[in-house]
Amino acid sequence: MSKNLLNVFLADDDSDDRTFFSDALREIPIQTKISEFNNGVDLMAGLLSDTVEIPDVIFLDLKMPMMDGFECLADIRDLEKYANTPVIIYSTSYHPKEIIRLNEMGASLYLQKPSSYNQLKTLLHKCLRYVDNSEHNKPEREFVISI
């Protein structure tokens, strides 16, 4: 991929988490453009719109009203034009069975929401280097991103 600007989509129902994420994203040394969605329904509407630029990466919260992260991931992976788009699960929960299921469903990475702003910046930078360097095509990679 390695282009000048990564187009990032974030779906998270918590406005504070979206702000925290966007602020941290602006401070890492990778140029990004972010589109935020309040829930899975709005994300899917954006992905299906002909007027929205295709994202380079989608960060997806698991626990959202109306349409959760599992449903969104399944729908995203059913869309041919997003078959190779990295989807990074971004959630406070950490349940090994869920993580295994998400990996099997085609999630690219699992990022547990960190408690500190600096940790978030570090982890976002790590995730976006993965996306920007096309490391998602490498067969041997870590699935859970952590400090």
Structural domains of the chain in order of their starting residue, each with its CATH number: 6-145 (3.40.50.2300)
Read off the DSSP letter of residue 110: E
List pLDDT tens digits, range 95-141.
999 999 999 999 999 999 998 999 999 999 999 988 876 554 554 55
- Cα torsion 67, 106, 44, 37: sign: positive
**Residue among 86, 84, 83 at smallest CA distance from 128:** 86
Task: Enter the pTM of the model.
Answer: 0.91
Q: Please report, in angstroms and rounded to a whole number, the separation of the first and last CA atoms in the chain.
A: 25
Read off the DSSP letter of residue 43: H
List pLDDT tens digits, range 2-51.
457 899 999 999 999 999 999 999 999 999 999 999 999 999 999 999 88
Dihedral Cα 103, 3, 31, 127, nearest 10 deg: 20
